[in-house]
Amino acid sequence: MSTPAAEQKKVIEQLMGRGSLSSHRGPYRGEMKLDDPRICKSYLVGYCVYDLFKGTKQSLGKCPKIHLAKHKLQYEREMSTGRGFVEFEREYYAILSKFVNDCNGQIGIALKNLEHKPEEQEKIQRVTGELEVLDSQIGLMLQEIQVLLQNNEVNKALIQSVKVQQVRKHREEVAVKVREIAENVGQSAQQKLQVCEICGAYLSRLDTDRRLADHFIGKIHLGYVVIRQELDILKRRFKDRGEDVVTVPQRKAKQPYQAQSRTSYSQRSSYQPRYKPRTYRGY
């Protein structure tokens, strides 16, 4: 059980850095400039993706860069005086763009997987073809009725109206058949799934409102909400400065974000996000 003194020490170290209470020189001892490559620029400008997905199925492990509140406070203080950190923002933009582009790609794949197969599309087109023919037939019959009424041929118009009602009744029967086929085609494979357009997760249309709500307040989903919002903020900031967002250098981020192995976090490589479309089962 930790003592109050130990808890206070832990809080101070989180704020000021490990070794700040020691007379010995620690790894972060001494003043560090904000452009020091050891400092996490994403943490300074906004949010570090390591923190956003910590403790989730998409956890990247621990950020290899330094996160200290005093550095973030210093960054915000200097920003308030008018100093700009364009390079930090560009690095942050490159990291967020990589995440969003990869996620959007996976969303596209997931949506394509839910599309009907060619033979299923053919079946749907075949049954909807009859519906289109009936719609055209009804339209022509209504035009004929108008012509008959204009020529004062009321009896013929009434007879034609009865025929229209019969065709409309048949159309309703065909429409029911079309809906049934459309709903049943590929139902077993798709399981009535839809794709979350924010994080790419598969969601079941059969889920309860509570279960769907759990997804939208889940850490992974909210992480992508933050990433997309931050990216929009950066784009507006670049636009206000007269910079073309497309031409903002998409440089390789200095911060070595990397995916972690399911079996080991010991090996690190250049980050390649691994977002698999997933069926939501709660977090």
Tens-digit pLDDT string for the chain (283 aa): 566 555 554 554 454 444 444 444 345 555 789 999 999 999 999 999 999 999 999 999 999 999 999 999 999 999 998 888 999 999 999 999 999 999 999 999 988 887 766 766 677 777 778 888 888 898 999 999 989 988 888 898 899 999 999 998 988 888 887 777 766 665 544 557 789 999 999 888 777 788 888 999 999 999 999 999 999 999 999 988 888 765 544 444 444 344 333 333 333 333 344 344 454 444 4
Residue 16 lies in a domain: no
- Final residue of a structural domain among 128, 155, 190: 190
Same domain as 163, residue 225:
no
> What 8-state DSSP symbol labels residue 275?
-
Same domain as 157, residue 37:
no
Same domain as 42, residue 104:
yes
Same domain as 205, residue 141:
no
Domain that holds residue 178: 118-190
Same domain as 109, residue 74:
yes
Strand ranges inside the chain, DSSP E: 193-195, 202-204
Residue 283 lies in a domain: no
Please work out, in degrees rounded to the nearest 5, the angle formed at the alpha carbon of residue 39 by the alpha carbons of 36 and 45: 110
Same domain as 122, residue 111:
no
Same domain as 229, residue 178:
no
Same domain as 186, residue 236:
no
Sign of CA dihedral 160, 162, 163, 165: positive
* Contact status, residue 271 vs residue 258, Cβ threshold 8 Å: yes
> What 8-state DSSP symbol labels residue 115?
S
Contacts 24+ apart (CB under 8 A), 252-258: 252/94, 253/91, 253/94, 253/95, 253/98, 254/37, 254/41, 254/91, 255/40, 255/41, 255/42, 255/63, 255/64, 255/65, 255/91, 255/95, 256/64, 257/49, 257/50, 257/60, 257/95, 258/60
Residue 8 lies in a domain: no
Residue 173 lies in a domain: yes
Same domain as 167, residue 56:
no
Q: Crossing angle for the helix pair 86-113 and 219-240, nearest 10 degrees?
A: 130
Give the count of domains, the chain: 2
Residue 128 lies in a domain: yes
Same domain as 50, residue 175:
no
Q: Is the pTM of this model over 0.85?
A: no
